[in-house]
Structure 1
Amino acid sequence: MSDTADDLAWETLAGEVAYTCPGFDVRHEDVRLPDGTETDYDYLSEPPAVVILPFTSDGDLVVIEEWRQAVRRINRGLPVGGVEPDDEDYRAAAHRELREETGYEADRVVPLTTVEPANGIADSELHFFVAYDCEPAGDQDLDVDETIHPSTTDYEAFRAAIRDGDVRDGRAVLGVLYYDSFGIPDDATPT
């Protein structure tokens, strides 16, 4: 952080939820900029989410195909979901989301990284995990607005699909690229 962080900070004068729906809110805030200018600012506010890079005991990757209404097509990617109030922590949310979206359970889950994917327009926070020794454990338990088909694929084939532009989901692309570039952090403890 620079020594001028205080020179960059905005002051929030007032704020309210301008629009709410299942999954996110749009917040409206009146702010004062460092030069004294008063203006307003709107952004999307949502709970933190987990993204899981799940490997089977054979080394295949568990992936999903999901309809994405905003882009009007099926996207291929990784299991992702919002943290819920009953989740003990982000790792527990990763275990739950993997089971709900794919029907698979992981033997162990290891934290990979945390990012703010769109911090100019949203307070979104993504917590990435790698799940190992994933095995089918039952049926999916999807939310009412989810249509998801899980499958497994060779990891290298999925990487090639990213390279070729066939996988366009940013969370999946980032998770694979981070995993390939940096691996698991040394201080990551599995559960």
Structure 2
Amino acid sequence: MTDDDPLAWETTNRQVAYECPGFDIVNEDVVLPDGTETDFDYLVDDPAVVLLAYTPDDDVVLVEEWRQAVKRVNRALPAGGVEGDEDLAVAARRELREETGYEAETVERFATYEPANGISNAVHHYFVARGCEPTAEQDLDFNESIRVVTEDYDDLLAAVRGGDIRDGRTALGVLQYELG
């Protein structure tokens, strides 16, 4: 689909309505295909990498992190933003190291998704990492509170299937990997 698609909206004005660490909210004036003029707000988020990281014993490296929006600790796959035009595999290795202290022998991309493209331009690139060992120190951002745990893959899959894992990035990545 391209901008000349009959479903495309025409953007006539764009402004950043709100900025904060991690994302912006953009407001655009648009013209709909039927000629209606309106506005549209959405979250602008940098591309991210998400890692299904296996130790040599085939356990999965997970993070437990406080999530203020839902007021609870979230168990999830390590994930983080891509910096500038950074190579995605380099970003995956960096985020794994920074969030968990683990470093991977190999990383390989297996999926790319737009997790909420009705309200955000976010793109998540999923990687499987193998041979992950705890060889570095965590290097967390000022607003990250992360505990690192490992879990048997089958237990993680059962937690996703059973609804115990509520993190969307994690559920999507594990289920896509399982289907692959």
Residue of structure 2 equivalent to 1:132? 130
**Residues of 2 paired with 1:48 and 1:42: CA distance?**
19
Equivalent position to 2:172, from 171, 174, 177: 174
Q: Which residue of 2 aligns with 1:39?
A: 38
Matches of residues 118-157 of structure 1 in structure 2 within 5 Å?
A: 118-157=116-155
Distance 1:156 1:128 in 2: 19
How many residues align? The count is 180
Quote the offset at 1:88 in angstroms: 3.0
Q: TM-score, normalised by structure 2?
A: 0.96
> Which consecutive residues of structure 1, in runs of 5 or more, have no partner in the other structure?
183-191
Counterpart in the other structure of 1:76:
75
Q: Deviations over 1:94-147 (max 9, x none)?
A: 000000000000000000111001000000110000000000112100000000
1-side partners of 2:43 and 2:119: how far apart? 6
Distance of 1:132 and 1:97 partners within structure 2:
15
Read off the aligned partner of 1:120 and give its amino acid letter: G
Alignment RMSD: 1.5
- Tell me the TM-score normalized by structure 1: 0.91
| Partner Cα distance (1:89, 1:137) in 2 | 22
Where in structure 2 are the equivalents of 1:13-162 lying within 5 Å?
Answer: 13-85=12-84, 88-162=86-160
Q: How does 1:2-21 map to 2 (within 5 A)?
A: 6-21=5-20
Q: What is the rounded CA distance, in whole Å, between the counterparts of 1:22 and 1:84 in structure 2?
A: 14
Specify the code of the residue in structure 1 equivalent to 2:105.
Answer: D
**Partner in structure 2 of residue 188 of structure 1:** none
Partner SS for 2:115: coil
**Unaligned runs of at least 5 residues, structure 2:** none
Aligned-partner residue type, residue 88 of structure 2: Y
Identity, % of aligned positions: 60
What's the secondary structure of 2:14's corresponding residue? strand
Letter in 2 for 1:149: R
Paired residue secondary structure (2:96): helix
